[in-house]
Amino acid sequence: MKKYVLKRLITLVPILIGISVVAFLLVRIMPGDAATAYLTTANIPVTEKNIQIAMANLGLDKPIIVQYLDWIKNVIQFNLGTSYISKNLVSQELLSGLKYTMMLAAASLLWIFVISIPLGIYSATHPGKRVDNLSRIFAFIGSSMPAFWLGFLLVQFFSIRLGILPVAGAEKLSNIILPSITLAFGYVPTYSRILRNSLLENMKSPSVTYARARGISERKILFNNVLRNSLIPIITSLGMNFGGMLSGSVIVENVFSWPGLGRVIVGSISQRDYPMIQGYIILMAVIFILSNLLADLACASIDSRIRLEG
């Protein structure tokens, strides 16, 4: 296990180097330029002289390879730089937003497990019935409805018409309900179908046939023998999608004015805040890779037959 984890962490290095190059080049081919955005934000006249001064202050007058090497040297030392706009450390800004984004993701995961697992179990034990057919339709709707449109509908109904839930902010616990539902909506039907199909497949295994021959009840077979292993595809999928969930929260956080990473990165992109954008991409890459590693470890702990090759 330790050897496997160490090997996976070592493989992080070339992957992150590749991602860092892409992130560095990507922000520099975006329309607009950072010096002009910097001057505009600071209410300084945008003149040729001021642009040159701003580029020198931001280090943008150096050759691009020198800019990259300076940046990556600081990243290795866990220094993501200073925001062009706020003048705060990028790491501080990202960690401040990450706290709220992780809260939103945790609440969304709670909705996903609370709804998708019972729904998947019921659909598997009642295949072809009304609930099973409705969950199939629900899966299609959930995967095709844009998050911003669902968020708008929820705000219109629960906040404006009924007035029972707040529209925006993060002051109260109730503020997280609508954005977490919006973020989880597309995942719930998908994972319920994954669990349903996994349960039906595992119910055909020889061990289940043997358990039935011994007279063990279907309920005990389901919860003692089948469900545990049937959760593995969900955990694997969650590990693969968790990073996508965090990056997908950008839209949700802006719809509900949730003070997470989504609002930070949207503002940074509009203002060409290179260090913030680069730091965000690196952070998302690390979270994506680590979430996959944790999912692999969780699957191995659930099913001892899974071997983690070192």
Tell me the C-alpha to C-alpha distance, in Å, between residue 257 and each of 21, 97, 223. 31, 12, 41
Nearest to 81 by CA among 11, 23, 18, 13: 23
pLDDT at residue number 100:
93
pLDDT of the residue at 111: 92
Distance CA 249, CA 263 (A): 9
Q: Which domains does the chain have, with CATH numbers?
A: 16-76 (no CATH), 100-271 (1.10.3720.10)
In terms of phi and psi (left: phi > 0; alpha: psi -120 to 50; beta: otherwise), the region of 188 is alpha
Tell which residue, 11, 18, 303, has the closest CA to residue 3.
Answer: 11
The parts of the chain modelled with pLDDT lower than 70 are: 1, 302-310
The whole model's pTM is what?
Answer: 0.81
pLDDT value for 108 = 92
Residue 81: predicted pLDDT: 87
Distance of CA 39 to the CA centre of its chain: 33
**Per-residue pLDDT at 110:** 93
- In this prediction, residue 90 carries a pLDDT of 92
CA 52/CA 33 separation, integer angstroms: 12
